């Protein structure tokens, strides 16, 4: 149609020689424009057309929840811990900076940005790209330490990025440098010190690890050496009074279902997850090596835990240290036990609406979405409500990336935003499957209008109450 229009208007009556000249001129004009476009790609905003696919093709394949280990030999050789200067990033990371098309999808889903913290994953990438192009100091000039500490490592940005940029790796590498330079202070530094000294970030004597189990006759690896499942309790459920109730509920459910399990008791220490995510790789590796030795000595093959952070580290990161286990979150084992008729999830929710906060390290990072819903019997419960951001698109509670150990002004709490979303569903119970989510969401509800009427429970507590209701 366009050709016909040009022919019947502008070109009507034109002679053959003029037509040939016009053809030549337009052909060359087109060729120069196309060549000019490609020639200026390295300096124009279409560079990502080339670098985007290159980044997708070269990005290393590994589980979303696995951070790359710092090799001690490399540290000894180079004296480098993490990334202090732009040139300390590897080639693939530098390429990824050029791949950004500035679409802002990462920023739209970032809980730190949404809660008013000084962090935008998009600006992390573009600011680093600025240093790469024009030089200059990285730490404290292009990237502020508070920006790096604001990240919950929820991986929402990584999941959304169309060119697969690894924001969490970039942030993690820069955090390692800050920790190596002794730039971490206050409560998070203290929690790392306590992981090193006492084996847990709460600073409690590790001998008190079984206090949560008082009166339950929970089997230990000593009293029941032929266990099938090791119940990895985790530091929160061992020492935090609220989370201890989740450990009790989980143990009671396992006992009621006749599962052959045992706990490590005082032989268990922190997995090292907070240390690795805050940036203390030496401490993490020391914890991982110790725990892998303990698990090997106790011939552990199957692990169940109620903490998605422990689950992620044991499953995705301990293989780096020779620890290979079948690791389950308690939601998947409990769902299997319900399916097998060894537990019941008959809705005994007193007719009250219930919703689920998907822990991001469970749903997004490890892809477990159906199991917690199966435990709650969500499919057949008319009172079950889904939040707008759910499943793999969940919204972090604010505790990840070691943020649990940072002080946070009430106005910047991610948990408040999440509590508002849960309250808007009309739910009277907010269920979750992570001791840190439980802690954060309880605080979030306490500080939010309407939250005083919403109970925050672990899925194991909901399920245990349903066993009791059936008696």
Say whether residue 450 binds ligand SF4 (CB under 6 A): no
Using CB under 6 A, which of 26, 30, 53, 102 touches ligand SF4?
102
* CA gap 415, 406 in Å, rounded: 14
Task: Say which residues have a Cβ less than 8 Å from residue 392's Cβ, sequence separation at least 6.
Answer: 159, 358, 363, 364, 367, 369
Quote the crossing angle between the two packed helices 121-134 and 167-180, to the nearest 10°. Answer: 70
Choice between 269 and 394, CB closer to ligand SF4: 394
**Single residue of 83, 246, 334, 437 touching ligand SF4 by CB under 6 A:** 437
Is 177 exposed, middle or buried (CB count within 10 Å of its CB: 0-12, 13-18, 19+)? buried
Q: Which is nearer to ligand SF4, 221 or 365 (CB)?
A: 365
Q: Which stretch binds ligand SF4 (CB under 6 A): 36-44, 214-222, 357-365, 373-381?
A: 357-365
Tokens of 465: 């109450």
DSSP label at 327?
E
Q: Which is nearer to ligand SF4, 162 or 353 (CB)?
A: 162
Q: At its nearest, how many Å lie between ligand SF4 and the CB of residue 113?
A: 6
Tell me the H-state helices in 135-279: 145-149, 156-160, 167-180, 187-198, 235-239, 241-256, 273-278
Q: Tokens in use for 439? A: 């802690």
Look-up: residue for tokens 């008959």? 346
The interface region with ligand SF4, picked from 21-29, 164-172, 242-250, 421-429 by CB under 6 A, is: 164-172
Whether 304 contacts 257, CB under 8 Å: no
- Counting contacts by CB under 6 A, is residue 175 touching ligand SF4? no
Of 122 and 276, nearer to ligand SF4 (C-beta) is: 122
| Shortest separation between residue 125's beta carbon and ligand SF4, angstroms | 5
Piece in contact with ligand SF4 (CB under 6 A), picked from 68-76, 82-90, 109-117, 338-346: 109-117
Q: Does 246 bind ligand SF4 (CB under 6 A)?
A: no
Q: Which of 82, 323, 372, 400 binds ligand SF4 (CB under 6 A)?
A: 400
Q: Among 120-128, 254-262, 377-385, 463-471, which window interacts with ligand SF4 (CB under 6 A)?
A: 120-128
147 binds ligand SF4 (CB under 6 A): no
Size of the site for ligand SF4 (CB under 6 A): 41
289 CB burial (10 A radius; 0-12, 13-18, 19+): middle
Helix, strand, coil shares, percent, the chain, to 5: 55, 5, 40
Encoded tokens for 55: 């980044």
Q: Which stretch binds ligand SF4 (CB under 6 A): 21-29, 33-41, 119-127, 248-256?
A: 119-127
CB 347 within 8 A of CB 323: no
**Which parts of this chain interact with ligand SF4 (CB under 6 A)?**
100-106, 109-112, 119, 121-122, 125, 151-157, 160-163, 165, 167-168, 308-309, 359-361, 396-397, 399-400, 434, 436-437
């Amino acid at each position: 149609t366009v050709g016909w229009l040009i022919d019947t208007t502008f070109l009507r009556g034109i002679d053959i020689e003029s037509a040939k000249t016009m053809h030549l001129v337009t052909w060359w004009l087109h060729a120069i424009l196309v060549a000019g476009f490609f020639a200026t790609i390295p300096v124009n905003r279409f560079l990502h057309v080339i670098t985007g696919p290159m980044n997708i093709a070269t990005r290393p394949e590994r589980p979303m929840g696995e951070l790359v280990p710092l090799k001690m030999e490399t540290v000894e050789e180079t004296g480098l811990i993490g990334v202090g200067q732009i040139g300390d990033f590897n080639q693939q990371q530098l390429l990824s900076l050029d791949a950004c098309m500035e679409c802002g999808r990462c920023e739209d889903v970032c809980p730190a940005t949404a809660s008013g913290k000084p962090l935008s994953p998009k600006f992390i990438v573009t600011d680093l790209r600025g240093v790469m192009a024009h030089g200059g100091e990285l730490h404290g000039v292009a990237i502020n330490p508070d920006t790096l500490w604001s990240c919950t490592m929820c991986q929402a940005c990584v999941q959304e990025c169309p060119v697969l940029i690894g924001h969490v790796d970039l942030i993690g590498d820069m955090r390692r440098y800050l920790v190596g330079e002794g730039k971490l202070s206050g409560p998070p530094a203290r929690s790392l010190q306590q992981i090193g000294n006492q084996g847990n970030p709460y600073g409690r004597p590790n001998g008190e690890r079984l206090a949560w189990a008082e009166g339950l006759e929970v089997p230990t690896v000593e009293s029941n050496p032929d266990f099938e499942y090791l119940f990895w309790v985790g530091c929160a459920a061992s020492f935090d009074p609220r989370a201890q109730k989740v450990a009790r509920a989980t143990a009671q459910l396992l006992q009621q279902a006749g599962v052959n399990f045992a706990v490590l008791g005082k032989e268990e220490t922190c997995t090292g997850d907070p240390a690795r995510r805050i940036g203390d790789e030496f401490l993490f590796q020391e914890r991982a090596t110790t725990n892998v030795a303990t698990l090997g000595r106790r011939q552990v093959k199957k692990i169940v835990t109620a903490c998605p952070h422990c689950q992620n580290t044991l499953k995705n990161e301990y293989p780096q240290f020779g620890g290979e286990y079948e690791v389950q979150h308690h939601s998947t084992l409990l769902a299997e036990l319900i399916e097998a008729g060894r537990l019941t999830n008959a809705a005994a929710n007193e007719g009250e609406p219930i919703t689920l906060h998907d822990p991001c390290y469970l749903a997004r990072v490890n892809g477990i979405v159906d199991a917690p819903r199966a435990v709650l019997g969500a499919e057949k419960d008319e009172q079950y409500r889904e939040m707008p951001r759910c499943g793999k698109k969940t919204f972090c509670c604010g505790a990840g990336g070691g943020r649990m150990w940072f002080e946070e002004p009430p106005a910047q709490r991610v948990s408040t935003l999440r509590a508002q979303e849960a309250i808007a569903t009309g739910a009277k119970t907010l269920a979750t499957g992570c001791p840190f989510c439980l802690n954060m969401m309880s605080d979030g509800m306490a500080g939010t209008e309407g939250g005083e009427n919403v109970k925050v429970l672990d899925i194991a507590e909901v399920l245990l109450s349903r066993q009791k209701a059936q008696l």
